[in-house]
Amino acid sequence: MAKRSVWSDNRFWQRSAAWVTGFASILLIWLTFDTIPQITMGTDADLKGGVTKRVPGPTVINYKITYEMDAKRMHEIPVIGDKELFFGRDDWSEEEAGALLHLGKLGSQAKNCMDCHTLLGNGAYYAPDLTKAWLDPAWGPEGSMQAMTGKSTKEEAMAEFLQHPSTYPTHARMMPDLGITAEEAKGLVAFLKHMSSIDTNGFPRNFGRMQGAVNGK
């Protein structure tokens, strides 16, 4: 009987397929368990104890968030700083902050922000990416939005804009009025502030450099 090459042996291919499938399954299970703690939302105790979580707890709205270049990772990362007032308070409890974020999340779904914007990689690019919108210096003390909306804080300026966007056209494209109430706007701004504090591995790429948001401005 002629000796057959291993490459044309059925059993060789069957065994290879079984090994590759088995190895990939184990790898996926391991990666899943490795990822869960990394993407689990932190708590108020973490924030108070200075523990850095990829997804900080809702009470991060009580803190100043800046965007800093990380030389080792070669992209910007959100840095949680000192306490800062958010709609006049820096003592939002875990429940209150959580309820505000929930309201904002529901609002973003009901008004379908993703129809035009991108949030954490999902959505459209008709309008600016909202993942780090809170860090856009346009809303800060040196930006134009506070003067334009007649408000003296970032959160109030953003909430005013969200309620009446077509009154404040700032880009070539205009955001339509979506019938957002004052309460919804507050929730949406909290939602955007929290989202900006999430460590997204530098996504969207070059946001900081494009917007001039790097290093605490």
Q: DSSP letter string over 102-125?
A: HHHHHHHHHTTGGGTSEETTEE-S
CB of 169 to ligand HEC, least distance (A): 5
Cβ of 199: how many Cβ atoms within 10 Å? 18
41, 170, 202, 204: residue in contact with ligand HEC (rule CB under 6 A): 170
Alpha-carbon gap, residue 89 to 99, rounded angstroms: 15
153 lies in the site for ligand HEC, by CB under 6 A: no
Nearest to 40 by CA among 26, 60, 54: 54
Can you name the residues that pair with 66 across neighbouring β-strands? Answer: 79
Paired with 89 in beta bridges are: 86
Q: Which residues pair with 67 in a beta bridge?
A: 78, 214
What is the footprint of ligand HEC within residues 180-199 (CB under 6 A)? 188
As a whole number of angstroms, the distance between CA 15 and CA 95 comes to 54
Nearest distance, CB of residue 23 and ligand HEC, angstroms: 44
Q: Is 115 in the site for ligand HEC (CB under 6 A)?
A: yes
Closest approach of ligand HEC to the CB of residue 192, in Å: 6
Q: Does 179 bind ligand HEC (CB under 6 A)?
A: no
149 lies in the site for ligand HEC, by CB under 6 A: no
Q: Is 117 in the site for ligand HEC (CB under 6 A)?
A: yes
Q: For ligand HEC, which residue of 49, 150, 176, 179 counts as binding (CB under 6 A)?
A: 176
Count of all residues that appear for the chain in the document? 217
**Residue number with CB closer to ligand HEC (47 or 198):** 198
Displacement of CA 30 from its chain's centroid (Å): 25
Q: Confirm or reject binding of residue 136 to ligand HEC (CB under 6 A).
A: yes
Q: Is 107 in the site for ligand HEC (CB under 6 A)?
A: yes
Token pair of 190, please? 């909290």
Site membership for ligand HEC, residue 142 (CB under 6 A)? no
Per CB under 6 A, residues contacting ligand HEC are 107-108, 111-113, 115-117, 126-128, 130, 133, 136, 138, 158, 162, 165, 169-171, 173-176, 178, 188
